[in-house]
Amino acid sequence: MFVIPIYIEAGITGFESPAAQHKELGLSLDQLLIKHPDATFIGMASGQSMQGVGIYDGDLLLVDRAVDVSNGDIVVASYNGCFVCKIIDKDNRLLLSASDEFKPVYVAPEDDFCLEGVVTRSIRLHKPCAEFQMREM
């Protein structure tokens, strides 16, 4: 195993903190990531069917209900009682996975289908916070 030596000194000196030169941007993550706060909810991805578009099991999805759905958008929908995250093909009434391992799903008129919103962002949690894990249970 190759080890990179890093030397760290701890102590108090008369120099200003290196962080003092950085200014706050005055922008929150909410402002940066969410266009319609009253119409946006967060869900958690489950499974491997959307890995081809960079959505992995356990990723957080920002879903906006105020965005008009276009062909090819990644959406969250209720399909026959299950929540799904898929690419929508409105012209052919299909829900598509981003993996060749999963077949397209035709949405028949008799199916119970409700579009919940468009996925506008996905966030990968490299180390989930304890508070979030507690709420999942």
Query: What would you report as the CA-atom Rg of the chain, rounded to the nearest whole angstrom?
Result: 21
| Among 49, 97, 99, 122, the one annotated catalytic | 49
Tokens of 88: 């929508």
| Among 17, 86, 90, 97, the one annotated catalytic | 86
23 is catalytic: no
Q: How many CA atoms lie within 13 A of 84 on its CB side?
A: 23
Do strands 74-79 and 82-89 pair parallel, antiparallel, or not at all (unpaired)?
antiparallel
122 is catalytic: no
Tokens of 99: 């993996």
Which sequence positions are flagged as catalytic? Answer: 49, 86
